[in-house]
Amino acid sequence: MLTQIKAILKLARIHFLLGSGIFYLVGALMARYESGSMDWRALSSGMATMWLLQLSAHFLNEYYDRDGDQANRHRTLFSGGSGVFAEGRLAPKVALWAAAGALILAVVLLVFLTRALPTFGVTTAGLFALAAIGAVGYSAPPLAFVERGLGEMDVTLIVGLLVPIFGYSAQTGRASLTFALACLPVAALILASVISVAFPDFEADRTTSKRTLVVILGPERAARLYAGLLAIGYVASWLKLTLGVPFVVLIAEAATLPVAMLSLIEIRRGGYKLPLRYALNTFLGLGVVGAIGLAEITGLFLAGIGD
């Protein structure tokens, strides 16, 4: 039993929850900056709802991508799946049951919150529904976005836009077009990070039905796209001053430039196509997004104290 529990936890890839948690908190802190207050019950319960949905997506992706994961010879901590099915540690149907259970719990919790908290209304439920369609549809038919060349955009829209807006809505009961526009520069960085995760899976993905941007464009052009997205993300961030984002947030974001430069240097060195450097290249690609998210949290927290 203990062995199976460990396998299920590995299947869940819990470490990926950190990324969505960061951008959910960005949305909540933006709402706090505007209103001057924070509803801690809405913060914690909304994050739990979002994480349950994300876990459901993880389990579904493990199930539908098991053939590709079986063929993968370059698995890293952040790419290539968990490896649980390739190791024969669990039956694939366990992932389906786990996905269904997590999704049901997320919906039940959301329904409860719409009755318990005033900010959880039509807007928040609608944002959750859109995120659920994208999360489930990433790998599961009939949508299977990852097989249509839309997987990276799907993840970017969820993590870069819907998650922070959901965090904002959980505090305010509404969505904000201005805040959504302010999320776009970081969304470009998130898209870049999703591309970086796909480099180690290139050989395995192109032998299956997956159509990642790395498969469609090829590693060389995908690497150039990655570099371009980093540049766009950092340059466009300064436009957020016109959208009410505190200046201290932009300074904090600018302080993460060394991480981005390290990632670009690794790309320049060919880390995206050298198996021995896959882990470092992927780590730096995700590190840019993690650093920028933590910078936004720090900046918004400081801005809130200042006010």
Length of the chain equals 307
Task: Using DSSP, state whether 76 is helix, strand or coil.
Answer: strand
Tokens of 37: 């207050």
Tokens of 241: 């001053």
Mean pLDDT by 10 residues, the chain (307 residues): 76 90 97 94 96 96 81 72 74 91 97 95 96 96 94 97 98 95 96 95 86 95 97 95 93 97 96 92 96 97 76
- Please return the burial class of 174, using the count of CB atoms within 10 Å of its CB with bins 0-12, 13-18 and 19+: middle
Contact 227, 164 (CB under 8 A): no
- Residue range 56-93, pLDDT digits in tens: 999 999 899 887 677 667 777 777 677 777 777 788 89
Neighbours of 261 (CB within 10 A): 13
Task: Using DSSP, state whether 79 is helix, strand or coil.
Answer: strand
Give the residue numbers spanning the domain of 113. 2-306
Domains in the chain: how many in total? 1
CATH assignment at residue 117: 1.10.600
Token look-up 């952040």 returns: 78
Cα–Cα distance between 39 and 274 in angstroms, integer? 47
